[in-house]
Structure 1
Amino acid sequence: MEPVDLSKRLQLSFYQRDTQLVARELLGKLLVRRVGDELRVGRIVEVEAYLGPQDLAAHSSKGLTKRTRVLFGPAGHAYVYLVYGMYWCLNVVTEAEGSGTAVLLRALEPVRGIGARTQGPGLLCRALGIDGELNGQDLTSEELHQVDAPLADPALIVAKSRIGVEYAKEWARLPLRFYLAGNPYVSRS
């Protein structure tokens, strides 16, 4: 197991920037989930950017609702929702409060304390023990946070269309999914 410095927790200001920039810069960062005395740590290797109410694939395109309230809240909080009635998905809220923007975490490379598959947002959440109880969680908390790590080599970052948003018309084809080329933990190349 490689030595990992978990002391450099990302601050809220990291998330208060352009969503696509945050998405790209999350690649290579560490996601840390504390469950009791256990730490589960994974390196982020795949994400998708959601650009607010005008983005037909974003939940915020339906407006402010009970479900999307956190999505329209301050940056640096977790937007966790259930899809297909069985899979939890973790998003990082970005930009200014009210923007409705976020980055979906799609895949992790296990680093510590993760024995289950993490290729895909539902498997990622299951492996880390993330569910709706963490919706709205401050991402600088002890329970769930991200840790700084060197930026991913820009030459390794691939941009492709997002997965599973065909209903979003022209928004479905935009290259808003970012992943690290050649990483075996990416959900789909």
Structure 2
Amino acid sequence: MGGGQLSSAPLPRSFFERPSHEVAPDLLGRVLVHGSVAVRLTEVEAYGGPGEDPAAHTYRGRTPRNAVMFGPPGHLYVYFTYGMHFCANLVCLPDGFGSAVLLRAGEVVAGLEEARARRSSARRVPDRDLARGPARLTLALGLAREHNGLDAVREGPAAGQPHQAAAVLEGLPADADLIRSGPRTGISTAKETPWRFWIDGEPTVSPYRAHVPRRRSAAATSVGEVPSS
């Protein structure tokens, strides 16, 4: 990727003040920067608001865990899942609505060695796999629990932004002819909703996986399933 994409203007907050299924395909080809690592987004999933999307964290309303999703658009909603991984979303719609886009995969276009160093594997990870999948993408960017609620919209001069600031840059939007959509991956409810979007032919896009029921203890089952966004 040319440096021009990394130095392009940040997306305005108004970009995110739309339904998540409209924002999602428009995020393809954009660049999310956190610290010195940047990822060009190649695969995303949209999740709707309270009462409309049973697969979304907001389905049953606002809670302490999902409160960021009900805040201003353009902020990062970062959550811990299955006791192992963090996943990152970008909040959509105006303040109070509760909707987001899950960032599923991308291409590391800056900070390659730093992203690789965050992997615990002793073997060298192929470039295409560094941010291939939502947990890997979040890890590559160095996002964790403390970044939940981080504003990814830079308004005003960017020169004074701290090293750990985040921003979504314009990048080069994906060619509309290359954007594909289909069912969201790995969820058990509303699984046919075609709100997964990806760039056709991109090697960084993660493979589609249908939901496979997992065996759980009685204690785990009693608190319900963890949705994907």
Task: Map residues 116-155 of structure 1 onto 2, 5 A cutoff.
Answer: 116=116, 117-141=130-154, 142=161, 143-155=165-177
**CA-CA distance at 1:4 after TM superposition:** 3.0
Report Cα offsets for 1:34-65 as digits up to 9, x if no partner. Answer: 1xxxx111110000000111100000012111
Report Cα offsets for 1:19-45 as digits up to 9, x if no partner. Answer: 1111010000001011xxxx1111100
Verify: 1:180 aligned to 2:181, yes or no.
no
Distance in 2 (alpha carbons) for counterparts of 1:8 and 1:72: 26
User: Which structure has the larger Rg?
Assistant: 2
**CA-CA distance at 1:17 after TM superposition:** 1.4
Q: Helix, strand or coil: the match of 1:81?
A: strand
Match of 1:40 among 17, 37, 40: 37
Distance in 1 (alpha carbons) for counterparts of 2:183 and 2:44: 11
Residue 82 of structure 1: aligned partner: 80
Report Cα offsets for 1:138-160 as digits up to 9, x if no partner. Answer: 11254111100232111111101
Q: Helix, strand or coil: the match of 2:45?
A: strand
Tell me the TM-score normalized by structure 1.
0.91
**CA-CA distance at 1:96 after TM superposition:** 1.7
Residue 2 of structure 2: aligned partner: 2
- Identify, as 1 or 2, the structure richer in strand: 1
Match of 1:62 among 48, 60, 63: 60
Tell me the TM-score normalized by structure 2.
0.76
The residue identity in structure 2 corresponding to 1:3 is: G
Superposition misfits of 4+ residues, deviation over 3 angstroms: none
Q: Helix, strand or coil: the match of 1:71?
A: helix
The residue identity in structure 2 corresponding to 1:15 is: F
Contact 1:114 1:128 in 2 (8 A): no
Distance in 1 (alpha carbons) for counterparts of 2:2 and 2:72: 34
Distance in 2 (alpha carbons) for counterparts of 1:161 and 1:149: 26
Residue 184 of structure 2: aligned partner: 162
Report Cα offsets for 1:91-120 as digits up to 9, x if no partner. Answer: 000012221110000001111112431111
Distance in 2 (alpha carbons) for counterparts of 1:13 and 1:118: 27
Distance in 2 (alpha carbons) for counterparts of 1:136 and 1:2: 30
Residue 104 of structure 1: aligned partner: 102
Verify: 1:51 aligned to 2:48, yes or no.
yes
- Quote the RMSD (CA, aligned, Å): 1.3
Distance in 2 (alpha carbons) for counterparts of 1:64 and 1:104: 18
Distance in 2 (alpha carbons) for counterparts of 1:136 and 1:165: 24
Distance in 1 (alpha carbons) for counterparts of 2:181 and 2:8: 30
Q: Helix, strand or coil: the match of 2:72?
A: coil
Distance in 2 (alpha carbons) for counterparts of 1:178 and 1:160: 7
Structure 2: stretches of 5+ with no match in the other structure: 117-129, 155-160, 209-229
**CA-CA distance at 1:10 after TM superposition:** 1.1
Distance in 1 (alpha carbons) for counterparts of 2:72 and 2:2: 34
Contact 2:89 2:101 in 1 (8 A): yes
